[in-house]
Amino acid sequence: MHYYNFHIGDYASHTRHLTVTEDCAYRRLLDYYYLHETPIRQRDIARQINMRDYEQDVLTVLNEFFVSTENGFINPRADAEIESYHAKIEQASRAGKASAERRLNARSTDVQPTNNHKPITNNHIHTPEGVDNLVWQDFLQIRKKRRAPITDRVVEGLAKEANTAGVSLNDALKECVLRGWQSFKADWVAPKPSQADIARVTVPGTKERDPALVKLDEDRKRAAPPSLEVLAKMAALRKGA
């Protein structure tokens, strides 16, 4: 679970005797328990919740508010919340499937094609593997409103674009639902190149030397060494100085 109900009054009535450190430990233990949905092992739990310097406070809270079992420490109240959460998810999933089935049956019985009209409907494609059913149903609604049929080939194309973008098909469809897209393209979510990258790509390179360097080489070749007379005068000047 990534969220859970928190009753402030109920929590306060049971934790007024805790120190600030113990209260922090209890909240972090609850977050850890709800997130992982597994019994807590006493070993390394203080480190897991980033309270290794307060291990004794963590163990005190663990022994007071959790029940020790052979598999680890459990919290019956949290277990009931987790079970209720999954029951609601399962109920919503069944309701979504039933609703989709009813819509499909209604389309197959109520829509009668004629020679001049071919209805555009979404074929009955099962929820793709790894895609949340509610996300899939929302995406089908967008396709329906746009009068865009859904086929196995369409799903394959979506999966291919999602893979190119480096995301899962479920995340790609979530993006479609949030943005109202009837399809998904990898370049729609690809990061835009910076101006520096564009300059490096668009400015053509050259194998020729810089004209300024060429001129320096030519000047160096034309330059003649000073005469002996000039060298003698320069030496006299340095000596006099």
Does the pTM surpass 0.75? The reply is no
Q: Low-confidence residues of the chain, pLDDT below 70?
A: 108-124, 191-207, 223-224, 241
What is residue 196's predicted lDDT score, i.e. its pLDDT?
A: 59
Give yes or no: residues 149 and 90 share one domain.
no
Query: How many whole angstroms separate alpha carbon 52 and alpha carbon 99?
Result: 50
Residue ending a domain, among 80, 111, 142, is 111
| 125: Cβ contacts below 8 Å, ≥ 6 apart | 150, 151, 152, 155
Of all helices (H) and strands (E), which one includes residue 198?
helix 195-202
Residue 221: inside a domain: no
At 100-129, the pLDDT tens digits run 878 777 776 655 555 554 544 555 678 898
What is residue 193's predicted lDDT score, i.e. its pLDDT?
A: 60
Residue ending a domain, among 111, 137, 161, is 111
Give yes or no: residues 94 and 158 share one domain.
no
Residue ending a domain, among 86, 111, 136, is 111
Q: How many domains does the chain have?
A: 2
Give the Cβ contact number of residue 123 at 10 Å. 10
Residue 101: inside a domain: yes
Q: Give me the domain span that covers residue 78.
A: 1-111
What is residue 227's predicted lDDT score, i.e. its pLDDT?
A: 72
CA angle 168, 170, 173 (to 5 degrees): 110
Distances (CA, A) of 194 to 55, 175, 197, 201: 48, 24, 5, 11
What is residue 120's predicted lDDT score, i.e. its pLDDT?
A: 47
At 164-173, the pLDDT tens digits run 988 999 999 9
Residue 230: inside a domain: no
Q: Name residue, tokens 């993006």.
A: 175
Give yes or no: residues 107 and 17 share one domain.
yes
Exposed, middle or buried: residue 66 (CB in 10 Å: 0-12, 13-18, 19+)?
A: buried
